[in-house]
Amino acid sequence: MRFACANCSEPHVYPDSLHAVTRLMGDFQDAFRSGRRFKSLKLGIRLVRQLQEDFLESLRLEIERTGLSSAHSFQHYRAGEQAHLAGILQQEHPLTARQFHELRKIISRRIALNDTRRTLSPSAHLDAISLYLATINGLMGRMHDELVLKRVRKELDYDLQPIDLPEEIASRLQAVARLDSAC
């Protein structure tokens, strides 16, 4: 739903309520994976409580009020995502974990968009793009899990400390950055 809102709503953002729940889910996942039982329990209780309060109905109404993007707005948003991806990859200094996470979100949104296109117009070409993007997302997901664990252990300043981007990921991201925004 977040990807649909980011790609296809007029403001190209997701509602605050959806962002809050998704962030809570991510925090819960990080706490659970890093073995922090008390924090997992606390976040799990908050998540269950938040999801029980007519969340889906209020979210539906909020999305309905927002409206769909125009074709021009959609193309402009996609071009901006492509430029952001290329810009981060071309910068002089190494990435931070936060910037790496931003790149992964772009890839995730690209997957959601491509998979929607595959549903509407199945093709071997779109299948190949999905497989390529899913491979990148998997590699980035494993790396991000390691970065989060280092942050939890206080071994990494997520926002400031530079990280090494493995060639396997960097070369694939460079290839995606070279694709036109139609993909």
CB 90 within 8 A of CB 160: no
Quick one: pLDDT at residue 183?
Answer: 46
Domain residues of the chain, as ranges?
2-66, 72-178
- Given this model, what pLDDT does residue 179 score? 74
Average pLDDT, consecutive stretches of 10 residues, N- to C-terminus, the chain (183 residues) = 85 87 91 91 93 86 89 91 86 89 92 92 94 95 93 93 92 84 43
Tokens representing 127 are: 């299948």
Q: Which among 61, 47, 51 has a CA at the least distance from the CA of 15?
A: 61
**pLDDT at res. 70:** 92
pLDDT of residue 180: 55
d(CA 102, CA 137) in angstroms, rounded, equals 12
Whether the full predicted model's pTM is greater than 0.85, yes or no, is: no
H-run or E-run covering 181: none
